Amino acid sequence: MRLLYNSALYILVLFYLPKILYQKLRYGKRGLLSRFKIPKLFQPAKPLIWIHACSVGETKAASTLLPHLKSYDLIISSTTETGHATAKNLFPDAQHIFLPFDFRWMMRKTFSQIRPKLLILVESDFWLNFMHEAPCPVAIVSAILSKRSYLRHKYLPAFAKTLFSKADLILVQNKTYQERFAALGIQTRICGNLKFDLPTLTPAPENFTVTIGSTHHGEEELILNALEPLTKRYPHLKLLIVPRHPERFALVKKLLQTRAATPICEMGALTKCYAKSKLAIVAGSFNPTIGGHNILEPIQLGLPVLFGPHMHAQEELAALVLDANAGKQLQADELRDEVEAHLTDPTYHDMVCQNAFNLDKELRGVSLRIYTSLKALL
């Protein structure tokens, strides 16, 4: 099975090489090219833990473990540019690397430099050679298995068995993911979602600011077409738009030159925008190919959250928010009436804010539960 995997991996990399080179030349992205290099690592004085967090969301989630890991030195690996930058910001004292491509020889060479006490994978970025070449226990925490990944593994059960056989501990976010792993013959325990423990800023809402966060191609126009009429009726309404990807910043600035919204085109600005808002709209959910983003971030600031019909990548968060009446799932053309309700009915708005606050309080405590489970491996 590993021979087939390694052969397929070389073919896949050759297939994606033109895209990798294009991203480097067009956008200056170096993350994928950096993954062809064996990182230079050193064995520190303290016991070492390696945490792999694919991108921004996983890296933020992993940071909730940091208060429990003060007795250890850390390596943080990423696979995206934004994840790498976020890791440097949230884990300033760690070693930071792009995860090498999962060639067996590269993983062996990387691990030959160091002997971590534990390898922790956050959420869903599973790599066979990375896990099997690790000279230490392997834990998958805050684990998810999307429906698409589950179906893929279901048709390749031998690969799934080989892939996860090296995991000493798998702690999943909820019962849905546990059932998917179980259908593949893989034992897990439910410990919750690390994102529930993310720290928050102190809210300081301005007028009636609405942040439209993590937008993708086409969503800015779709949402503004629904909301711009409100800016004429309610002059105190302010719309902020924060694109998901830095390579779209220039395009979005140009797009919004004649629109009644302010583009916020800088890395790491989303949480600050939520903190000065009274309402959040989380995009990625109006595009069927994306499947939604983290709707919990505004909830943790006590903000009601609105999101679109496509939330297949965030099913649990959508269910939690809807069950708590801390937000609504709407079509784009329904946004106007809901935003207006928050503008004109303070009692309704305050009630949903309180529901968001209560939900956040109820969900916290996951990082301590996960660390308690990890101590057995350490």
pLDDT 10s per residue in the chain (378 long)? 777 777 777 777 677 666 666 665 665 555 566 777 888 888 888 999 999 999 888 999 999 999 999 999 999 999 988 899 999 999 999 999 999 988 999 999 999 999 999 999 999 899 999 999 999 999 999 999 988 899 998 988 888 899 999 999 999 999 999 999 999 999 999 999 999 999 888 999 988 999 999 999 999 999 999 999 999 999 999 999 999 998 899 999 999 999 999 999 998 899 999 999 999 999 999 999 999 999 999 999 999 999 999 999 888 899 999 999 999 999 999 999 999 999 999 999 999 999 999 999 999 999 999 999 999 998
Residue 71, Cβ neighbours under 10 Å: how many? 9
pLDDT at 40: 87
Enumerate domains of the chain plus CATH numbers: 25-196+366-374 (3.40.50.11720), 208-363 (3.40.50.2000)
SS3 238: strand
The sign of the CA dihedral 188, 190, 191, 192 is: positive
Residue corresponding to tokens 């303070």: 346
pLDDT at 163: 92
Dihedral in degrees, nearest 10, Cα atoms 348, 296, 93, 203: -10
Please give the structure tokens belonging to residue 128.
Answer: 């066979």
Q: Nearest 5 degrees, angle CA 80-CA 92-CA 62?
A: 55
Q: List residues bridging with 239 in a β-sheet.
A: 210
123-144 in b/e form (b: 16+ CB < 10 A) is bebbbbbbbbbbebbbbbbbbb
Residue corresponding to tokens 């708590």: 324
Q: pTM for this one?
A: 0.81
Q: List residues bridging with 170 in a β-sheet.
A: 140
* Residue 257, burial from CB neighbour count under 10 angstroms (0-12, 13-18, 19+): exposed
Contact (Cβ atoms closer than 8 angstroms) between residue 126 and residue 99: no
pLDDT at 280: 98
pLDDT at 7: 76
pLDDT at 129: 94
SS3 224: helix
Residue 354, Cβ neighbours under 10 Å: how many? 14
Q: List residues bridging with 98 in a β-sheet.
A: 78
CA–CA separation, 164 vs 1, rounded Å?
Answer: 13
Contact (Cβ atoms closer than 8 angstroms) between residue 65 and residue 370: yes
Contact (Cβ atoms closer than 8 angstroms) between residue 230 and residue 199: no
Residue corresponding to tokens 């833990």: 49
Residue type present at position 300 = Q
